[in-house]
Amino acid sequence: MFTDPRHERQASAEEANAAIRALVTAQGGRAWSADDLAELGRLRAEWLAAVRAQVTTAA
C-alpha cells in the first residue's frame, strides 16, 4: 500500500526516544549490523526533527 509521506504524522520526541531505547535494549549487547545502525540513524533523525519542531525561535 502506498502512503503519501505528506500525510504521515511526525512522531513526538518522546515516541522517538522510546523507539531508540527499545532498539538499543533489543540489541542485548550484540554487535550492531549495518541495518541496525541505519535504523538507529533513522530514529535519531526522527527524534531530532521532533525536538526541533518543539523549539520556538526568539523574535
Task: Express each pLDDT in 20-43 by its tens digit.
Answer: 999 999 999 999 999 999 999 999
| Mean pLDDT value across residues 9-22 | 90
Segments in the chain forming alpha helices (H): 13-27, 34-54
**Per the confidence metrics, is the pTM higher than 0.85?**
no
**CA 49 to centroid of chain Cα atoms:** 8
Which DSSP state fits 59?
-
